[in-house]
Amino acid sequence: MKIKINDRKLKFGGVSLAITTLVIAAVIILNVAFTALAYKFSIYTPMGRDSTYEVTDNCISYVQDTVIPKIAEGESITIYFCNDEDIIRADKTQSQILTSASEIAKEFQEKINIDFLNVWENPKLARKYGITSSNDVAIVYGERYHVIARTDFFNYNETTGEATAYNGEKRLAAGLLKVARESNPMCYITVNHGELIESYELLYMLADAGYNYNYLDLLNYDIPEDCDLLLTFDPRQDLAKKDSVSGISEVEKIEKYMQDGGSLWFFASADTFLAGPLDNFESLLEKYGVKFSHSENSDGIEECLQIKDSSNSTSIDGYTFFTKNAENDVAKNWLSHVKAQSLVGNATAIDVSHDFTKQPDGSFASANGKITLAPILVSHAGAQGLAGGRIIRKATDDEPFNLMTVSVFECENGKSATLLACSSTVFASESTMQSAVYGNSMVLSAISKHTGNEDAPILLMPKPFPTTEMSKLTTKNATIITIVSAAAPTLAIAIAGAVILIRRKNRI
């Protein structure tokens, strides 16, 4: 029904002004209300299925299965962003992290919520939670808290320092788990044997799996009672054994730890044994079926085998190559979610001790049946094992080179001790562990999950940013493209305009 308004007062004057003001006010109120609702309920739609800051279903499932059951009835976890809300939303990076956190909070509204804490106005609270920057994110559950620095949400190129991927959902999920658990597993990293962890990515992976970690000098200290995982990374000096000079035996400490149901991760490479054999380490490992391959070179000196696989290599020399998952039941079960191939480099091979026998399922068992050794990652057929430049042996489908093995030992106290042996330190390097393409990080998370740390996240991966650098375009070609792109359409429009205007003028 059309209403005709002829009254001049309604057309102009005070009434018209009032109507105009009301309309504008209504639009502003609508906007304010909708914006507030949009922030509260995350009313937005990611365009494209690979929206970097969107939280995946894997993350939601992980939080649902591992975090939520640990939160007591009536309690909740709060994710604090350490500044005023408007400042956080105005900062591009912080707002993106807020997007991820908001999606998690939206799924578990009763159990996880978001809050904003201006640390400058609340210095006591900031000190209490160990917040050192307004860019930090603090996850708090009662008296337990975990702080994530902004830089920890991203992976970086080790050369240029440029952010290469967003790792937010894994860091947030790991942080939530850390505060939800009453106690977190402890990892001790051995030192004073020349160990050199070049990349922090292995430590980040352990932290994401829920471990707290510390360093341990076995010579001067015993392995603490709370040690859930002992990590030895690329040692260059041997373990101390009791002798006439010293009464301290690091070997005995580790043996006792293992017999009590401990877990040991040992990383080595082809260079680990360059300075000479590590007899005490190797004899300890051999008890669990692990024997790093040695061979005599042409001078009669024992050298570690170095594996080369040119057919599956990412490097020209063939020494950095893809592995494949082993075919035994343990590997198939543990790595069922790991579809991506893992990358190793400068790898040596792990042989199985001679007193272990191969089982029908592909694993190996000790003579007394108490120790099971399962290859986890192996080389492809055709890989070569070299020593001193000579090919010592080649891998076949039935006998590939073992690159990562897990030994499980049934202890007398009923617990299971585990030994993870990895024959490539490049496996845990920054580029391999950060990559969303390689399965390295997922493999270690899976092993952690199946060797006592049930809550380790396997399927949460960093989301790489698009590679923004052009590597093949020369400056000359770039200039030509720019000039052509600028000139061609402009000239076309100008010519079309000139033609039309001139023809029109002539017609007139």
Site for other proteins in 27-66 (CB under 8 A): 27-28, 30-32, 34-35, 38-39, 43-48, 50-53
Of residues 443 through 472, those in contact with other proteins by CB under 8 A are 464-472
Of residues 385 through 424, those in contact with other proteins by CB under 8 A are none
* Nearer CB in complex with other proteins: 346/353: 346
DSSP collapsed to 3 states, 400-421 = CCEEEEEEEEECCCCCEEEEEE
Q: How far is the CB of 4 from other proteins (least distance, A)?
A: 12
Let me know: does 255 contact 261? Beta carbons within 8 Å: no
Both ends of the chain: CA-CA distance in Å? 46
Q: How far is the CB of 328 from other proteins (least distance, A)?
A: 26
C-alpha span between 360 and 30 (Å, rounded): 70
* Nearer CB in complex with other proteins: 201/351: 201
* Nearer CB in complex with other proteins: 99/372: 99
Q: How far is the CB of 31 from other proteins (least distance, A)?
A: 5
Could you say which of 18, 301, 391, 486 contacts other proteins (CB under 8 A)? 486
Of residues 160 through 219, those in contact with other proteins by CB under 8 A are none
Q: How far is the CB of 332 from other proteins (least distance, A)?
A: 24
* Nearer CB in complex with other proteins: 153/266: 153
Assess 314 for contact with other proteins (CB under 8 A): yes
DSSP collapsed to 3 states, 143-183 = CEEEEECHHHHEEECCCCCCEEEECHHHHHHHHHHHHHCCC
Q: How far is the CB of 103 from other proteins (least distance, A)?
A: 11
Could you say which of 15, 18, 149, 478 contacts other proteins (CB under 8 A)? 478
Structure tokens at 359: 């089982």
C-alpha span between 24 and 66 (Å, rounded): 49
Structure tokens at 294: 């040695």
Q: How far is the CB of 393 from other proteins (least distance, A)?
A: 27
Would you call 320 helix, strand, or coil by DSSP? strand
Let me know: does 456 contact 445? Beta carbons within 8 Å: yes
Could you say which of 11, 242, 358, 370 contacts other proteins (CB under 8 A)? 11
Q: How far is the CB of 89 from other proteins (least distance, A)?
A: 7
Q: How far is the CB of 159 from other proteins (least distance, A)?
A: 13
Let me know: does 320 contact 344? Beta carbons within 8 Å: yes
Assess 18 for contact with other proteins (CB under 8 A): no
- Binding segment for other proteins (CB under 8 A), chosen from 23-31, 268-276, 278-286, 412-420, is 23-31
Would you call 477 helix, strand, or coil by DSSP? helix
- The candidate with the shortest Cα–Cα distance to 231, out of 218, 240, 249, is 218
Q: How far is the CB of 441 from other proteins (least distance, A)?
A: 13
Count of residues interacting with other proteins (CB under 8 A): 72
Structure tokens at 421: 């042996």
- The candidate with the shortest Cα–Cα distance to 342, out of 454, 264, 423, 453, is 423
* Nearer CB in complex with other proteins: 109/314: 314
User: HSE of 84 in the Cβ direction (CA atoms, 13 Å)?
Assistant: 5
Q: Which amino acid is at 410?
A: E
C-alpha span between 467 and 106 (Å, rounded): 31
* Nearer CB in complex with other proteins: 87/219: 87
* Nearer CB in complex with other proteins: 155/363: 155
H or E element at residue 463: strand 463-464
Could you say which of 215, 399, 489, 502 contacts other proteins (CB under 8 A)? 489
Q: How far is the CB of 468 from other proteins (least distance, A)?
A: 4
* Nearer CB in complex with other proteins: 301/437: 437
* Nearer CB in complex with other proteins: 220/474: 474
* Nearer CB in complex with other proteins: 115/361: 115
Of residues 91 through 130, those in contact with other proteins by CB under 8 A are 92, 95-96, 99
Structure tokens at 212: 């707290």
C-alpha span between 456 and 82 (Å, rounded): 27
Assess 12 for contact with other proteins (CB under 8 A): yes
Of residues 427 through 446, those in contact with other proteins by CB under 8 A are 431, 435-438
* Nearer CB in complex with other proteins: 2/354: 2
Q: How far is the CB of 79 from other proteins (least distance, A)?
A: 19
Phi and psi torsions of 468, nearest 5°: -90, -10
What sign results for the dihedral spanned by CA atoms 240, 191, 159, 206? positive
Of residues 363 through 382, those in contact with other proteins by CB under 8 A are none
- Binding segment for other proteins (CB under 8 A), chosen from 21-29, 200-208, 217-225, 354-362, is 21-29
Could you say which of 22, 90, 275, 502 contacts other proteins (CB under 8 A)? 90
* Nearer CB in complex with other proteins: 413/475: 475
In DSSP terms, 298 is beta-bridged to none
Structure tokens at 24: 């504008």
C-alpha span between 156 and 54 (Å, rounded): 20
H or E element at residue 433: helix 430-434
